[in-house]
A and B are shown apart, each in its own frame.
Chain A
């Protein structure tokens, strides 16, 4: 018995050839582009949390669209 941290699919990366790894990685990145609009304001690294210019623009767009 072993403590599990990541899924078998994640850990299976070590069984891929280098080319297979790159293909899988690129495909993952391509699919992840679908959430670009949702995470436009946010950061995954560094010391900042969100982009105030994006938040300002999104708020302006919301108020222009008016109440639903």
Chain B
């Protein structure tokens, strides 16, 4: 027996590692909760990888949903591309990015190196926790459990959502705390006790949610003209193969959807 998202990951990585299974389906592979019915992958940012994904999805009869074209010029700007296909009883939503949020270029390069070295094409627990720092409350429960799977105490200190766990980790790993405190200001409040720490964890979560909301708002503002045009584009691509639809979507998006949203204004 196989799972449709694992089968698709295998297909996308046939002959070469091109994608990493991410987000909700990766959480299942790490044996936490099943919480999402859609699939999300990080794609290697090169032409062969993106071309293979398109061809593989085309063979499955996938179609474009509203989103950026699966094209390196947009993907390099942090946009996401969204496709959908049917496999037996399942509607398979297949979402792709090459520059996942909250993952530095160095961390992303390490993720690809590790995946190459281990053959594991599922995003690991630490980057997965970073990806899950979204504007959705339910994701923070997942981050809390992912932190408990991390082997490095410094990583646990960076991602734990439990005041109890943090106090214990700090007592057992003072050197890791000294390092982690530079990246997570909340850890400076450990000596103030659980109530203060719980309050700081809540405030941190709300701040992280707001930061992500603002990030998404920048992309949505940049996509406004594209959103207006999309119903027409979708009518034009109806009935076309994915590869033909892709060419048309790219040509229609050029000049309408900017390759990058406006940069965040610095205070």
Q: Chain B 214-244, CB within 8 Å of chain A: the 1/0 string?
A: 0110011001000110110010000000000
- B162–A48 contact, CB under 8 A? no
Contact present for B66 and A53 (CB under 8 Å): yes
Contact A2 B32, beta carbon cutoff 8 Å: no
B162 to chain A: which residues have CB within 8 Å? Answer: 2-3, 5
Q: Is the CB of A29 within 8 A of B80?
A: no
Contact A22 B164 (CB under 8 A): no
Produce 1/0 per residue, B24-40, CB < 8 A to A.
Answer: 10001001111011101
How many B residues have CB within 8 A of the partner chain? 50
What is the predominant secondary structure among interface residues of chain A facing chain B? helix
Interface size on A, residues (CB 8 A): 38
Interface string of A13-47 (1 = CB under 8 A from B): 11010010111111011101100100000011111
Given contacts A6-B142, A52-B227, A56-B231, contact A44 B24 (CB under 8 A): yes
When A and B form their complex, which 10 residue pairs have the shortest distance between CB atoms, in order from nearest?
Answer: A46-B80, A47-B219, A5-B144, A10-B33, A3-B162, A5-B141, A32-B37, A51-B66, A45-B40, A14-B31
12 residue pairs from A and B, CB less than 8 Å apart: A3-B144, A5-B162, A6-B144, A22-B3, A25-B3, A46-B82, A47-B79, A48-B67, A48-B80, A49-B220, A53-B231, A57-B231
